[in-house]
Amino acid sequence: MEKYRKGNCFPISARWSCGRGVQRRSVQCHSSSSSPKEAECDPASQPPPQRDCHLPPCPTHRWAAGEWQACTKTCGEASRFREVLCVDEEEQPQSSGRCEPSERPAEVQSCALPPCEYIWITGEWSECSVTCGKGYRQRLVSCSEIYTGKDHYEYGYQNMVNCPGTQPPNIQPCYLGECPISASWRVGNWGSCSVTCGVGVMHRSVQCLTNDDQLSSLCHVDLKPEERRTCHNVHDCDLPRNCKDVKNLEGVTEDGEYFLQVKGKTLKVYCSGMQTDSPKEYVTLVNGDAENFSEVYGYRLHNPTECPYNGSRREDCQCRKDYTAAGFSSFSKVRLDLNTMQIITTDLQFAQTHDGRPVPYATAGDCYSAAKCPQGRFSIDLYGTGLSLVGTAKWLSQGNYAVSEIQKSPDGTKVVGRCGGYCGKCTPSSGTGLDIQVL
């Protein structure tokens, strides 16, 4: 008598419990005798020991996980990540909907890191702010997160509240000896012509001042600049003086370019807001916004005490683009104040901001370095407008380690500058206005 036992289905592919497989069983010769022998059974009637079997079809997609990346920090609470994709039989990425969601491997994992420590980091003292007399020196002071688990410190700038103890000083006085007394003639801006039409006189202030702005008698009298001169307002005496005159006297209500009489000379001015009671004057910049722009540079060095590449401007340095005050604005027209003869630098009606925040005209800065390598730029080009900057036009540096490099053309129609520091900038010294004159 034959006897057999049915086995489980074993698939051909060991990867899945699915698809075509083989089912095996034990086949033995069995009889009533106490010790049966195989020869007692008929070989021709022996049942087969195995047979083919079929389980549900195997899936064609699976989850594939990449290597774990480095932890996002070197100390404290952090995580690490890896890429998880749904792939087909040829390991090609597919839509994640084709893989079983419950079998998706983890993509994020917490890192077991030691707690963070914080220390004060100080930079080198800068040079004295003056070449003689009393001044001050500055240095960069920051609170840094450190991790000493390696052979060297790894640190990054953090909030000041994390560091223990009192913050080290970042400014100290310096004295380079008494300054020699010297004096020079200082001149103010020419006033308005005494007449609006015809021949008149205009005045300006001329003073002899020491290097600390005290009145002095040390200047050579023969070198004293003139205090008054003749002015001629004989050309186009009937021209309007401002855009409001154009509107009221000529009945014009359309914005556009008009000729005005400005300081006794004819000037082409763009009138804006002619439908209102207070139209504004602008001058169209002949060379356009390619030569008239203001920038606060957006990149910052990881180590702001350095000035890499001899101060050159490169974006492949050890830096990051995260300065929130950064921006780049270009100007096709600038606002004029014909009463004070100034360009209103904060009027952005005809400015276009290409990146970040709007930056006023003739302004630049950065938050790049404490080592005197400014990266922010501005450019002024008044050529062809009939206007130029007055000779006394200056820029005021502001912020930490602020420094500026200003270059002006002899006729005052063009100025280019580089400004910055560690979160520093420069602006026209007259505030929101830039002093101009009619050529």
Token duo for residue 77: 């609470």
- C-alpha dihedral sign at 81, 84, 90, 95: negative
Distance CA 305, CA 300 (A): 11
Per-residue pLDDT of the chain (439 residues; tens, 9 = 90+): 444 444 556 554 444 466 778 888 888 887 766 565 666 787 778 888 888 887 877 767 889 998 999 887 777 778 999 999 998 888 888 888 888 888 899 999 998 877 777 888 888 898 898 888 888 999 988 887 776 555 455 555 556 677 888 889 999 999 888 877 788 889 999 988 876 665 678 899 999 998 778 898 888 887 888 898 877 665 556 788 899 988 887 788 899 998 888 887 888 899 999 999 999 999 999 888 889 999 999 999 988 888 877 778 877 788 888 899 999 999 999 999 999 999 999 999 999 999 999 999 999 999 998 888 899 999 999 988 889 999 888 999 888 888 898 988 888 889 999 999 888 899 998 888 899 998 8
Residues 6+ apart with CB under 8 A from 35: none
> DSSP characters for 123-158?
-PPPPPS-SSSEEEEE--EEEEEEE-SSSS-EEEEE
Token duo for residue 143: 């609170």
pTM over 0.85: no
How many C-beta neighbours within 10 Å does residue 140 have? 21
**Number of Cα atoms under 13 Å in the Cβ half of residue 137:** 14
Nearest to 299 by CA among 378, 368, 400: 368
Token duo for residue 315: 């974006």
